[in-house]
């Protein structure tokens, strides 16, 4: 399968713990996006990378959230000191090229449950 | 970014044609219209994109009137497997992100 891969698919953690999600984009896709989605809502933009550079971060991304894409390939999203409000599906997407054509390729997401 | 408005939900039956209309009154000259489909517990999937008039692919058709203030996604002969949330998005060519609304939940019944 050559689609966007996310790991883990499901994560249950206790409030206050740190969690990390990994995203492997489609090979040679320059852009990588992170979104968050809660029940009944559309995906909310969190941040995006062009190669290894993080070019935009949403104000939704508090100081407890950090994302990296160290070599311009896979990316990680870390949430420190998790809160119950962080429970959501975290979606990763990638796209080729240096401009946004509107076509993003999404992974199946990582579902986080904070107890 | 232009705001979009679409129905919260729609019902249909298998074999029918479904038309989902999206309003985007503040669309800018260089904005494109893109539709995504999302099944439960999956990421959204790109369906179709257009700028004006009509675009058709193997999955759907997209109709855009001359004023471009609305667009209609047309799904021919829907089946149960077309039950999903459909998102209408408007974005410029230089936009770095896509903004999703709450979408339209299409429920197809037998």
Question: How confident is the model over A101-115, as a mean pLDDT?
Answer: 94
Give the pLDDT band of residue A96 (cuts 50, 70, 90). confident
Report DSSP letters for A4-19, one per residue.
-EEE-SEEEE-TT--E
Which residue of chain B comes nearest to A50, CA vs CA? B96
pLDDT score of A1 more than 60: no
Instruction: Say if CB A82 and CB A19 are below 8 A apart.
Output: yes
Share of chain A above pLDDT 90, in %: 82
Q: How far is B6 from chain A (nearest CA, A)?
A: 13
Question: Are the Cβ atoms of B49 and A102 closer than 8 angstroms?
Answer: yes
SS3 A86: helix
**Which portions of chain B are predicted below pLDDT 50?**
none
pLDDT in tens, B91-103: 886 667 888 989 9
pLDDT at B91: 87
What is the model's pLDDT at position B2?
67
pLDDT at A98 over 70: no
A4 → chain B, closest CA residue: B43
* Phi and psi angles of residue B65, each rounded to the nearest 5 degrees, phi first: -70, 170
> CA-CA distances (angstroms) from residue B8 to A62, B69, B71, B88, B105?
30, 19, 16, 12, 6
Name every chain B residue with its beta carbon within 8 A of the beta carbon of A48.
96-97
Is the pLDDT assigned to residue A59 strictly greater than 90? Answer: no
Say yes or no for a CB contact (<8 Å) between B98 and A102: yes
């Amino acid at each position: 399968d050559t689609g966007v891969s996310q790991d883990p698919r499901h994560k249950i953690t206790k409030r206050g713990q740190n969690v990390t999600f990994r995203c492997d984009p489609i090979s040679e896709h320059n852009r990588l996006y992170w979104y968050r989605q809660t029940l009944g809502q559309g995906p909310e933009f969190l941040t995006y990378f062009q190669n290894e550079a993080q070019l935009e971060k949403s104000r939704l991304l508090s100081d407890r959230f950090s994302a990296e894409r160290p070599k311009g390939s896979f990316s990680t999203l870390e949430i420190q000191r998790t809160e119950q409000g962080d429970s959501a599906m975290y979606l990763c997407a990638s796209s080729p090229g240096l401009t946004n054509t509107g076509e993003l390729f999404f992974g199946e997401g990582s579902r986080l449950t904070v107890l | 970014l232009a705001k979009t408005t679409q129905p919260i939900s729609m019902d249909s039956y298998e074999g029918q044609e479904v038309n989902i209309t999206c309003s985007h009154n503040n669309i800018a000259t260089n904005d494109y219209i893109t539709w995504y489909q999302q099944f439960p517990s999956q990421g959204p999937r790109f369906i179709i994109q257009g700028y004006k008039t009509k675009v058709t692919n193997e999955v759907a058709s997209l109709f855009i009137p001359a004023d471009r203030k609305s667009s209609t996604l047309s799904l021919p002969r829907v089946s149960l497997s077309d039950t999903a949330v459909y998102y209408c998005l408007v974005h410029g060519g230089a936009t770095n992100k896509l903004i999703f609304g709450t979408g339209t939940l299409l429920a197809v019944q037998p």
